[in-house]
Structure 1
Amino acid sequence: MKRIIMSITLISLFTISCKNSQVPQKEIAKTQAVKNDITDQQLMDKVQKYALKYFWDYAEPNSLLGRERYHEDNIYPDNDKHVVTTGGSGFGLATVLVGVERGFIPRKEAVKRLTTMMDFLAKADRHKGAWSHWINGETGKTVPFGKKDNGGDLVETAFLTSGILMVREYFKNGNAEEKALAKKCDDLWKGIQWNWYTKGGEKVLYWHWSPDYQWEMNFPLQGYNECLITYILAASSPTYPIDAETYYKGWTRNGTYLSDKTKYGLPLYVKHNGAEEYGGPLFWAHYSYIGLDPTNLSDKLIKNYFDLNKNQVLIDYKYCVENPKQWAGYGPNYWGLTASYSRNSDGSVGYDAHFPQNDRGVITPTAALSSFPYTPKESMDFLRFLYTQKPEFIGSAGPYDANSINYDNWTTPRYLAIDQGTIAPMIENYRTGFLWKLFMNAPEIQQGLKKLSFQSPKYGIK
C-alpha cells in the first residue's frame, strides 16, 4: 500500500467499502492463545516464523514475489493473487533471508525461489530502471496504482532495492548457484536510473515518472517521512547516482526540516510532514531502516538517527498510554498507530494512516512489533499480550493487519504485504542486527553514506 506521505492529507489512497455484514465469510480457523510461560525468545521465533508465511505460503504463484494483500475472509476473488507489490516484496526478500538464517526454510530452496524472483524482475516493465508500484505477477506488466500512477515509483523501487542488495550480500560468497543469484541482484541494482528522477537535474528526487504522463504526479521527496532510504540508494548507485547537494537541498529542505519541538519531554528532532506535534505513523521509523542501521548514525544535521526513531516510537507509545480519547483497551500492552486497514464509522473496512493526530481507536500490530529495536520492553509487552490474551487477533500468517478492543474486539482477517513484511526483519535487527550488517557493509552503501557526510562508527563510516 502506498502510504500518505508528502503532507499527510489522510485521504485514503485505497479504500474498501464493504459492510462487515455483507462480507462473504468462509470458516476461519481459530487461533489458540499461547501459555503465559512461553519465553520471550519463543514468542519472537513464533511471530517471525508466521510472518514469513505471508511471503512463502501466500506468494504470488508465478513470480513468487509478495502479493499486495491476502484475505482469509475471501473478500476479493482469489485475493488479487496476481497483483505484486514492489515495496512489500522488498520487505519480503528481507523476511525470506531471516527465514533462512533462522532455519525456518531450507537455504537451497530459498535460493531457487529468489532466483525466480530476480528473473521475473529482470523481465518486468521498468521505467528508466524503476519498477511500478504494482506489477502483474503473470505478465510482468505495470498495474496502474492510479490513472497517472502508471510508471516508475522510485520509493517503492527503493524498498525493493534494499531487499535486493541484502540478498546479494548474503549469497555473494556462496556456491555457484548462490553467486549466480547475487550477480542477478547486482545487475538489477545497476539498472536503476536514480538521477533521472531529479526531473532534469533539479536538486530533489521525485516519486513518480510515467511514460504517458511524465512528471504530472509531481511529488518531490522531501523530509521527513519514510523516504530517506531512497536518497541513500540514489547516492550509492555506481551507475546513475545523485550528488550530496540533491540530498541536502531536496530531502532536508535546505536544513529547514529540523525541529526544536518536544512531546512528553522527548525531542522530535525533525518536522514530520503534516504531523509535527507528535510525529507521523510509525512506519516512518521502519521502512527506511530494514537495512539502514540507525544506531549512532549521523549526518550533517542529525546527530543520531536511532534517537530520532526511538523518540517517535516512544511518543506514540506514551500517547496511547495517556489515551486522551479514552479508547477501551489502550495502555502499556496495547498500543501502536500506523497506516493499515481501518474501521470506518459505519463499521465497514477502510484504510487509513493512523497516528496520534488521526487516532481512530484502531491498533496495528506491525507498529509495535516492528519497533522492537527502539522499544524492546514495550514491544514485547504488546507481543505477549496479543498472543496470550487476544488470539482472535491472530491468523494463519501472524497478527491480522488491524484490530480494536474498543469496537467489541473488532478485527479484519486480512493481511497487507507492506505491514506484515517489516515484522520479521525489524525483530531480527533487534535480536542480532543481521540485516543491518548485510546492508551497511555493502561497498556501494559505504561510499554513498560517506558522500552524504554520514557517519557510522560501527561500520567504519567516518
Structure 2
Amino acid sequence: MTRILLALLLSTSLFAQDLSDEVVLEKVQKATFQYFWEFGHPVSGLARERSNQAFGYGDETCTTGGTGMGIMAMIVASERNWVSRKEAAERILKISRFLEKSPRYKGAFPHWIHGETGATLPFSPKDDGGDLVETAFLIQGLLTARAYFDQNTIIETELREIITRIWEEVDWNAYVKDQVLYWHWSPNHEWAMNFALRGYNETLITYILASASPTHPIDPNLYHEVYAKGDHFYNGKTFYDLSLPLGFDYGGPLFFTHYSFLGLDPRNLKDRYADYWEQNVNHALINYRYCVENPKGFKNYGPKCWGLTASDSPKGYDAHSPTNDIGVITPTAALSSFPYTPKESMEALRYFYEVRHKDLWGPYGFYDAFSDEQNWVASSYLAIDQGPIVVMIENYRTGLIWKLFMQNPEIQIALKKLGFTWK
C-alpha cells in the first residue's frame, strides 16, 4: 500500500512535466476562462469584480472593464471549442442587452454595475457616474465581438446591432473640459474627480477609441497636446541595458502592457513617440530582470518566479512594480506578457503550474497573487487579472483578438488620424 501511495503522489507531483507547452497553455487558458463563464453574474452575464467579498465588495458588484475582457475571453473559448459559437454569441448578447438598458452618463458606463438591477454602484464617494477608461476597456471587447460574430443569423445580427448602438452612443467629446480629456463625470459631482488623462499608462486605448467614434469623436490634437505632454510620458532611460521610450522608471506595473493592448495590436505599431512593440517588450523584460536581480532579497524571486503588477496583497489591492515592490508576485503579470517574453513567461507558467500547483491553483486557474516572503496566497480572483491571461496567451498563440479588433474600420481611421503606422 505504501508503494502504491508513493507512486500516486509522485505521479501527481510530476503530472504536468509530461505535457507539451501547448497543452499546458490550453489548460491554463480554459480554466481561467471559466471565471467569466461559470462565475459570470447569473442575471446579466456581466463579469463580477472579484470572487470574494473582501474590501467591501459584494456578489452583485460587476465590472464594466472586466466585462469587456471577459467578452474577449468568450471569443477565445468559441474559437477553441470550449463552448459553441452559438453559446458564446447568446451569452454576449445577454450581456449587451443588459448593458443597453443600464444607466449611462453621456453615453459612458460607470466603473461598477449592480449585476441584477443595472444600477450604478459608486466606486468611491464622488465616482458615481461615467468612467471613460473602464468604458474604453468594455468597448474594446464589444468591438472585437462585433468583428467576430459576423454571420447573418438572428442572434449574431442582433448582437452586432446592439454593440454598434452602444458604441455610437458614447459621447467621448462630452468628457472634454477646457481642452482636456477627463476620466470621470458624475451628474451629482460633475468634474470633482478631476482626473485628466495625461501621461503614459493604461489609458492609450481610451484616446484611440475616443478618436475613432463615428458619432462623438474628440479632437485628435488632444492626444498630442494633453496625453503626450503629461508627466511620466517620455522616459528615454535605460534599465538593465534596455531602453524604455515612455512611462515611469522601470515601466510601472505590467498591466500597462496588457489592458490597452488586448485588442490594439502593438506589433509594428508606431507613432512619433514610440515603437509600441519595443516599449512593451522592454517593459516586460525590465520587470523580469528586476525580479531576477531581486534587490530587496524577497523569498523565491527569480527566473521562474516573477511578475509585478496590480493585484491583491496581504494588506489590500496594490499596484506592484519595481518601484513599489512589497514581495508580491502576481501570475497575470508574467502570463499576460507571453507575446513579449515567451521564454520567460513559459518558465513562470511551468513553475506556477507544476511546482506550485497545490497552493496556487484553484477553480478558475491561478489565484490572484502570492507572497512567499509573507507566507501568503490570495484566495481571490479578479476579473481584470483573469481576462488578460486568456486574451494575451491567445494573442501569443494565434493573434486572434488582435486581428479581430484591428479589423474594425473605425480603428484604422483613428490610428491614421493620430499619426500611427502599424503595417
1:111–1:395 Cα change, 3 Å: same
Distance 2:92 2:14 in 1: 34
| Equivalent position of 2:397 in the other structure | 431
Alignment match of 1:294 (pick from 229, 253, 266): 266
Percent identity over the alignment is 52
| Equivalent position of 2:31 in the other structure | 50
- Do residues 116 (structure 1) and 97 (structure 2) align? no
- 1:20-419 map, 5 Å: 34-71=15-52, 80-199=58-177, 202-253=178-229, 257-272=233-248, 276=249, 278-302=250-274, 304-344=275-315, 350-391=316-357, 392-408=359-375, 410-419=376-385
1:251–1:34 Cα change, 3 Å: farther
Superposed CA deviations along residues 228-285 of structure 1, whole A, max 9, x for unmatched, are 000000000000001221110111017982222110111110132xxx2x11000000
Q: CA RMSD in A?
A: 1.6
Distance 2:387 2:107 in 1: 24
Question: How far is the alpha carbon of 1:34 from its aligned partner?
Answer: 3.6
Question: How far is the alpha carbon of 1:224 from its aligned partner?
Answer: 0.8
Q: Is the 8 A contact 1:203 1:245 kept in 2?
A: no
Q: Is the 8 A contact 1:203 1:247 kept in 2?
A: no
Distance 1:342 1:255 in 2: 27
1:108–1:32 Cα change, 3 Å: farther
Question: How far is the alpha carbon of 1:75 from its aligned partner?
Answer: 5.7
SS class of match (2:236): coil
Normalising to structure 1: TM-score of the pair? 0.87
Question: How far is the alpha carbon of 1:429 from its aligned partner?
Answer: 0.5
Unaligned runs of 5+ residues in structure 1 are: 1-30, 345-349, 458-462
Q: Which amino acid aligns with 1:249?
A: E
Question: How far is the alpha carbon of 1:300 from its aligned partner?
Answer: 1.9
Q: Is the 8 A contact 1:197 1:208 kept in 2?
A: yes
1:33–1:152 Cα change, 3 Å: farther
Distance 1:34 1:387 in 2: 10
Q: Which amino acid aligns with 2:373?
A: N
1:39–1:261 Cα change, 3 Å: same
Distance 1:214 1:53 in 2: 38
Superposed CA deviations along residues 329-354 of structure 1, whole A, max 9, x for unmatched, are 1000000000000023xxxxx11110
Q: Is the 8 A contact 1:33 1:387 kept in 2?
A: no
Q: Is the 8 A contact 1:34 1:387 kept in 2?
A: no
Q: Is the 8 A contact 1:93 1:164 kept in 2?
A: yes
Distance 1:313 1:198 in 2: 32
Aligned residue pairs: how many?
Answer: 411
Q: Is the 8 A contact 1:33 1:390 kept in 2?
A: no
List structure 1 segments (4+ residues) > 3 angstroms apart after TM superposition: 31-34, 74-77
Q: Which amino acid aligns with 1:289?
A: F
| Equivalent position of 2:4 in the other structure | none
Question: How far is the alpha carbon of 1:402 from its aligned partner?
Answer: 0.4
Distance 2:408 2:26 in 1: 27
1:351–1:339 Cα change, 3 Å: same
Q: Is the 8 A contact 1:286 1:370 kept in 2?
A: yes
Distance 2:278 2:144 in 1: 24
